Chain A
């Protein structure tokens, strides 16, 4: 069931949703948002794409297997957890750069942790949904 209306809408919605998910991720530390919600919105973007164009097409534009997002996310989160140890602080101490970045704001280790959460959530949701959808067709 390919719908031209849905496909056309998805062509615009998909990038906007992804951009919005990054926006949610970055603003999380100051305003409602964060890695978890951001990851969910990003997965919705891909799910929308898969409904419109079929899961095979979505896997193509993803470039990576959804499982590898989980690996990457866990690795990133773990790294940011243990990064302070190399500077002689206890595990999970927040480390912050002195100067705020333009647009993003102040960057610290917890931002990378949140990015890890983001990738894990995207990976988990897409793995579950795409596995089921590919098996059912």
Chain B
């Protein structure tokens, strides 16, 4: 399973050097990877539906509890099959949708990276590993939404999606860490056993809140839903794959995964039912007022996600079965509708439902796919969608009696909207009169219209053999989400009862609404919704704060940085000095001053005075080098020839470097003399700094030094490293790794200078 999870990442890596050979007519061969993964997963079905769970474990960072441990149980099998099978079709579809795109290889790399992340997410048995993959899906989604990175709109949508899902991910991480702390394990398998500990722990509401923050942002629940319609700027295969079939269901997966661990409490059920219920109705109604096909699909996706959240909140066995079935139903029809929309967009150049009509005549197979998907979404009998809807009504009707009426009403309203939205997206563009400007349109390549047709047909076939799907896929999934109770029996015919009446009524109302909507269209094109503008205001505040912060802390003047850094260091050091207590000097301990030292200090003070009063840069540099040389002499006096030698050469080179650089600078600006306040400030800061450092130096004399380390080096330099110069032995042998990294840093610095100097910006590009 490690292979399944990371093969997409490996493929993405291979595409970096080899992509340019593949992105031509061979790009379709890349679909081999998802097909291969699907086959591997399909072969596991008999084992998993037999009730066993396949585990695999490889250590990664055991000290943090983060390991490559994977589990293939019913739930992960359901999701991973969806991901890999739909992935295979998307890979095929993309090869003609983005045919001859200059960055097709890049697109495939992102797509396979995403597939790997998503598979890893659903297969993880370690919640920290799950989080790693969770973030990877956000990041790959960011790249895919912003794929057309030359459009400002795409970039903004990508950043929006990343900010929101990243923020949610951050909360999720905190939640997962608390779970790990409370339960003492990061393994999902072991967490199942600690469910009671977690539910009764005082941090339980916090954990649930944090987990919800992650799931709601990812699965676009109100009020975080707006990133999803925004994300429709991505190429259509991305919308079909990430933003309807798989990634947005990661939040649903998380909720399902944690329902047996954290679920079945009032907090859990009520928050999910309220948020999910509101989202599903809000988005369902919104979907009807859109004119862009992708916007309609986006809102109906949000509505479905709300429905799934709502069902998980309901939490009964029927509700969970309904949720699992509905995930498959939705993935099949919504991906189909996105793909047919993509074909329409590709061929006609528009997605506006007010313009599109009569395309049946020119795109017949696409129409068939759209029709099948719309019928499945409407829940027409014999389609898989029919079974999904029946199960939803069964779940709401069987909920506790005092709320079941309201729940059923909410579900019916949402479903009516979904029926209508499905018809608008799947049927409306194809029927009616063909406008003259679309006459020349012809059917695209087979690799483009076959995938949606396969998906749509699957919706019909699954509807005809529901018993088999229920037994093989749904039962094992249900058994791990906390609703045991034998095999799931899905039937086409439930008998003539309230559920059937509701279902047919929904269908009729939906068709009626569709006809009314077509006759008397009400469209809004405004995009300013309350949550959206609220978030963009917060965003604006962030930008303003950071602009002010930058203006103060990062204003581009070296002198201002130096003053701030030194003042900060002074404050820290003063604090430490005060904490250390009074300072005393024992003059008897000090060695007598020699004539050399006295001469040296006089030289040093003279140079310092020269630096402070001079008005020439070059003189100041020479003065500084004199200071450097006097310090070298100090090293010589006190027996550190290595240091002295290095300091001498460095000082020499520094003067040369300064001379070269000064050549490029304007003449010395004398602002210091103009403003006495600045002079006073600089004097105070520097005198204070010197005083503090001197005090520390005096203080150090009193602190007993720990000689262990230096004695170790002195003792073993010759016996272990065969060297007599301890300093050098430390550099090249004992602490060789440090030296290695230091020379790497040096090399990077040189490359930085080189590229900065060689970078010839045009005046317009300079900031």
Partner-B contacts on A (CB < 8 A) = 24, 28-37, 40-41, 43-44, 47, 51, 67, 70, 73-74, 77-78, 81, 92, 94, 96, 106, 108, 110, 113-114, 116-117, 120-121, 123-125, 127-129, 131-133, 135-136
Contact = CB atoms under 8 A, between A and B. Distances in A.
Given A127-B750, A132-B664, 15 more contacts: A29-B722, A29-B723, A29-B732, A35-B732, A37-B642, A73-B743, A74-B744, A117-B739, A120-B746, A121-B746, A129-B656, A132-B753, A133-B660, A135-B757, A136-B661
A30 B740 CA distance: 21
B29 to A, nearest CB: 38
B666 to A, nearest CB: 13
A127 B758 CA distance: 12
A32 B743 contact: no
Contacts of A67: 750-751, 754
Contacts of A123: 747, 750
Contacts of B739: 113, 117
A34 B736 contact: no
Nearest to A93: B733
A113 B657 contact: no
Interface in B643-670: 645-646, 649-650, 652-653, 656-657, 660-661, 663-664
B657 A128 contact: yes
B5 interface: no
Contact of B725 (A32, A43, A116, A117): A32
Contact of B729 (A29, A47, A106): A29
B727 interface: yes
Interface string B727-739: 1110111001101
22 contacts: A29-B723, A30-B724, A31-B724, A32-B642, A33-B645, A33-B728, A34-B731, A36-B646, A40-B649, A51-B656, A67-B750, A70-B750, A73-B747, A81-B736, A94-B720, A94-B733, A96-B722, A110-B723, A110-B732, A128-B753, A131-B758, A132-B661
A40 B648 CA distance: 10
Interface string B444-481: 00000000000000000000000000000000000000
**Which of B733, B740, B744, B746 has the largest number of chain A CB atoms within 10 A?**
B746
A40 B650 contact: yes
Contacts of A135: 664, 757-758
B741 to A, nearest CB: 11
B723 to A, nearest CB: 4
B657 to A, nearest CB: 6
Contacts of B663: 136
Interface residues of B, number: 41
B498 interface: no
A53 to B, nearest CB: 15
A123 B720 CA distance: 31
B646 A37 contact: yes
B723 A30 contact: yes
A60 B653 CA distance: 21
A77 B653 contact: no
A131 B746 CA distance: 15
Nearest to A73: B743
A128 B750 contact: yes
Describe A's contact surface by its main secondary structure. Answer: helix
A41 B649 contact: yes
Contacts of B744: 74
A131 B621 CA distance: 20
A44 B720 CA distance: 34
A132 B662 CA distance: 10
Nearest to B644: A32
Contact of A136 (B645, B664, B728, B729): B664
A24 B642 CA distance: 11
B653 A43 contact: yes
A114 B732 contact: yes
B641 interface: yes
A48 to B, nearest CB: 9
Contact of B746 (A51, A113, A124, A132): A124
A35 B739 CA distance: 11
Interface string B564-583: 00000000000000000000
B757 A124 contact: no
B740 A77 contact: yes
A28 B721 CA distance: 13
A115 B362 CA distance: 74
B657 A32 contact: no
B687 interface: no
Nearest to A66: B750
A91 to B, nearest CB: 8
B653 A40 contact: yes
Contacts of B751: 67, 70, 127
B749 interface: yes
Contact of A32 (B645, B737, B757): B645
Nearest to A126: B750
Contacts of A106: 722
A96 B722 CA distance: 9
B743 A127 contact: no
Contacts of B664: 132, 135-136
Contact of A117 (B732, B733, B757): B732
Contacts of A136: 660-661, 663-664
**Lowest 3 CB-CB distances: which A-B pairs, in order?**
A40-B649, A32-B641, A124-B750
